[in-house]
């Protein structure tokens, strides 16, 4: 992932950081609890949907943590897009994008919960402030969430032990990348930074991902 695709570069108008500052909630405890695995974005898709429940699949405790923190991130994304669609403030291609991605993220949540069964973590509460009622802020926030998810997965993929879980993760990674490129193109209409700026992508560390997620201020549990 290019250094251009960071929280700082994407949130050029400060919309997301303004939301975090204005909300005034403490999310540190929740995110610290999530810290051991949120870096792995494993988000459903056909392969993940076909996995048996972990109770009968012999999945390691480490992979269960990865799946659960992936589920936490998917909860955030699914809730963000669902709220934006429901509020009805989006227009044009942005509206079409939100509807498509809302369906994808909801499917990811369903697949992850089905795989984890009784071990699935509960959905936290979210406060997206005005990022779902302003088209410009929605676009900026969406791009941050999608690129953060892609780089988070790349940073943690080496920790997945189960071949089936790894294959499922691989089935969804390009979908998240498509989302990121689509919203980037909507925002800049082909201008810089380009949606595909480099030949090779680099993952982000767990600390970097946690800092980016915490900075949004969206998780209020």
Residues 101-113 have pLDDT tens digits of 999 999 989 888 8
CB atoms within 10 A of CB 81: 25
**Whether the Cβ atoms of residue 126 and residue 80 lie closer than 8 Å to each other:** yes
Percentage of the chain beyond pLDDT 70 is 73
Element (H, E) at 107: helix 92-116
Farthest CA pair distance, the chain: 49
Do 176 and 153 form a contact (C-beta atoms < 8 A)? yes
The answer to which of 16-20, 120-124, 181-185 has the lowest mean pLDDT is 16-20
Q: What is the pLDDT of residue 12?
A: 45
- What's the CA angle centered on 182, arms 176 and 188, to 5 degrees? 135
Q: State the pLDDT at residue 3.
A: 36
User: DSSP code of 119?
Assistant: G
What are the residue ranges spanned by the domains of the chain?
7-155+165-216
- Does the model's pTM come out above 0.85? no
56 CB contacts (<8 Å, ≥6 apart)? none
């Amino acid at each position: 992932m290019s250094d251009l695709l960071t929280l700082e570069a994407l949130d050029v108008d400060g919309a997301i950081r303004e939301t975090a500052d204005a909300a005034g909630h403490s999310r540190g405890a929740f995110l610290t609890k999530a810290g051991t695995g949120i870096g792995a974005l494993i988000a459903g898709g056909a392969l993940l949907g076909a996995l048996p429940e972990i109770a009968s699949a012999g999945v390691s405790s480490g992979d269960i943590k990865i799946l659960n923190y992936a589920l936490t991130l998917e909860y955030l994304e699914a809730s963000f897009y669902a709220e934006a669609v429901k509020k009805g403030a989006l227009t044009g291609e942005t509206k079409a994008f939100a509807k498509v991605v809302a369906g994808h993220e909801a499917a990811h949540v369903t697949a992850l919960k089905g795989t984890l069964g009784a071990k699935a973590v509960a959905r936290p509460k979210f406060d997206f402030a005005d990022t779902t009622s302003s088209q410009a802020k929605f676009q900026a926030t969406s791009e941050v969430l999608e690129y953060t998810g892609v780089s988070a997965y790349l940073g943690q993929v080496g920790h997945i032990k189960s071949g089936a879980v790894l294959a499922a993760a691989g089935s969804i990674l390009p979908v998240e990348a498509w989302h990121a490129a689509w919203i980037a193109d909507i925002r800049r209409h082909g201008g810089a930074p380009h949606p595909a700026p480099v030949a090779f992508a680099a993952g982000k560390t767990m600390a970097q991902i946690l800092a980016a997620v915490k900075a949004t201020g969206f998780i209020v549990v």
